[in-house]
Amino acid sequence: MKSVVLGTAGHVDHGKTALIEALTGVNTDRWQEERERGITIDLGFARYPQRLDDLDISVVDVPGHEDFVKNMLAGASGVDLLLLVVAADEGPMPQTREHLWIARLLGVRRGVVAVTKADLVDAEWLELVSDSARSEVSNVFGECDWPIIAVSALKERGLADLDRAIVATAREAEARRDDDLFRLPVDRSFTVRGIGTVVTGTVWSGTVQTGGEVRILPGDRTARVRGVQVHGGDVERARAGQRAALALAGVDRWQVARGDVLAADPVWRSHTVLDASLTLIPDAPWSLKHWQRLRFHLGTSETMARLVLHERDRLQPGETHPVQLRLERPVVARAGDRFVIRFYSPVVTIGGGVVIDPWARRRRRSTRGAIAVAAPSAGDAADSADAGEAGEAASAAIERLVAGEDGAGADEAELSIRSGLSPVDVSKIVKSMEAAGALRQVARRWFTLDAVRDVREALLAAVASHHESDSHAQGVGLEFLRSRLGRPQALVNAVLADLQREGLVRIEGSLAALSEHRPRLDPKQEDTAKEIARRLREAGFSPPTVKELARGLSVGGGEQALLPVLKFLTERGDLVAVTQDLYYDAGVMAQARQRITEYLAGGGGQAGRPSELREVLGVTRKYLIPLLEYLDAAGLTRRTSEGRVLRETP
């Protein structure tokens, strides 16, 4: 069943609420003050009479008074089709046109015009008002064929014709998608005795069900959905396009309010910087200048914003231009979301636009191109009459988003937020691009082949550079490579695996080296290495320290000059580093291990005390303790309160 939201629009006292009551039987003025004053102050809601199995219509009645336009904006944000109300005795008025512009800026494309109070005027005047209403609609939406129906709620005149027009127009409205990320902007929050906190709103996308968990953004609280109602009736789930009331557990009424957004997926986040395409309406009373302070409306939220114009100082009425909006409070946005801006003072609607990047970085004014090319793919797909062009536009947008500015790639949920496409569509696009060789998936994130090639080239260059500067080393540390490249670890690991599989790189333990690399010392170091090896071999279990070696060999540069040679011999397996200052010949170390093993194994399971092991090796305590600690760390022995024992093998 298609679910559609019908929103009212029109000047104050033109009969919107009375007309909705005549159509639905519901007086949408909820407050006593509204009924006493005879004007709508806040949003009202009703269900359109349910007569069809394939169509469900929810009604949002909005205030028409200029003082409550911000409330009207909160309700208009989820509207699929408009019911424009124009009183026959007055004709179109200032709020008529403002409401029309708000509807267009928010993406509404279909509507019905009701000329109310038709019983108060003669036929000629009624025709003039109808023509005037048609002209107002055309001035804002261009040539369109919205039905115009003369009605009288009091005399019940024309209601059947209006009903048929509403149903027919609702059938033409594009259905919202259930196979999408759930999002519901909150327009009301209150407490019900015995139930607790209840919030209402229009489900913009996806579905929500009883027992599920939701996040409340931008505060990022979590709550459990205790119950779901649609049109006052309990249901298991609410879907996109429906007005829903959710009973929430784990959150107090003051912790969620109009302007908040309910979401489920962890990918949703709020942000204070948006890249956008901004349109200033043709009859706006002023132009906008760089750094202008504006009122920004998206969904049910309102905040102040600063306008950043790129490569120009002003935006004139009727112009559209890429901009950046710096918000004073974070909002939850998605590429393709539509917003409205109002002048700071006096408070009038002057424009609106489409979000391009909901997670934008702050940009300098000279970087206009970076925003201008970032057209939202969802909008491209919707506005293109050719399916092939729409598909190409969406693929191009996805590739641009995957490439990003930092080479970090993107997962499919992120791409859905930043492209405006549903996760299902994103998945189809990236898999198609993968098959075409344009993208690669690594650990659930997608990367362009250019990014993969960049990492490949950077890895090979980094390893080669390390070999050149440190030719005696076996290789370069993997952790060093990952940190030096500054790319996602999973991508670096995947490319390293590629290089190893292709035989270009060998990986041994925590080191990587080019396959043809062979560690080497210069001739002078080779002579030093031979002498070091000889002295350590002859010294047996009591080798000289590094300092003593340097002094005995009279090497220029002292200990620091010996360290590369010692490291080389250790990595080659000729030496064993017991401490940073004490090295053993590998053969001598094997003898030490054998003697210790034989002694402890022959002791009937008794522990060997240090004094006993000192006699076994014939060394002083200076050498014994480092040796024993090394053998403990190497897994041969284990220290107990009674002495060393052989470590049991599993």
CB 116 within 8 A of CB 151: yes
Residue 65 among the catalytic residues: yes
Residue 17 among the catalytic residues: yes
Collapsed DSSP state (helix, strand, coil) of residue 352: strand
How many CA atoms lie within 13 Å of 429's alpha carbon, on the beta-carbon side? Answer: 29
Rounded CA separation 250/212 (Å): 12
Catalytic residue of the set 11, 14, 16, 467: 16
In the chain, the N- to C-terminal Cα span, in Å, equals 64
Consecutive H or E run containing 69: helix 69-76
| DSSP 8-state class, residue 649 | P
Instruction: List the beta bridge partners of residue 489.
Output: none
Rounded CA separation 173/481 (Å): 54
Asked whether the bond before 543 is cis by omega within 30 degrees of 0, the reply is no
CA distances from 253 to 75, 199, 497 (A): 20, 9, 53
Instruction: List the beta bridge partners of residue 338.
Output: 354
110-116 and 148-150 beta bridge pairing: parallel
Residue 466 among the catalytic residues: no
Asked whether the bond before 185 is cis by omega within 30 degrees of 0, the reply is no
Rounded to the nearest 10°, the torsion over CA 347, 349, 351, 353 is 100
Catalytic residue of the set 2, 65, 271, 567: 65
Residue 484 CB-density burial (10 A; 0-12 exposed, 13-18 middle, 19+ buried): middle
Rounded CA separation 160/164 (Å): 6
Residue 431 among the catalytic residues: no
Rounded CA separation 628/614 (Å): 10
Catalytic residue of the set 13, 161, 470, 632: 13
Residue 576 CB-density burial (10 A; 0-12 exposed, 13-18 middle, 19+ buried): buried
Dmax over CA atoms of the chain, in Å, equals 124
Catalytic residue of the set 11, 14, 17, 297: 17
Token pair listed for 198 = 């209840």
CB 105 within 8 A of CB 351: yes
Rounded CA separation 462/349 (Å): 56
Q: Which has the closest alpha carbon to 271: 326, 198, 224, 349?
A: 326
213-217 and 148-150 beta bridge pairing: unpaired
Catalytic residue numbers, as ranges: 13, 16-17, 65
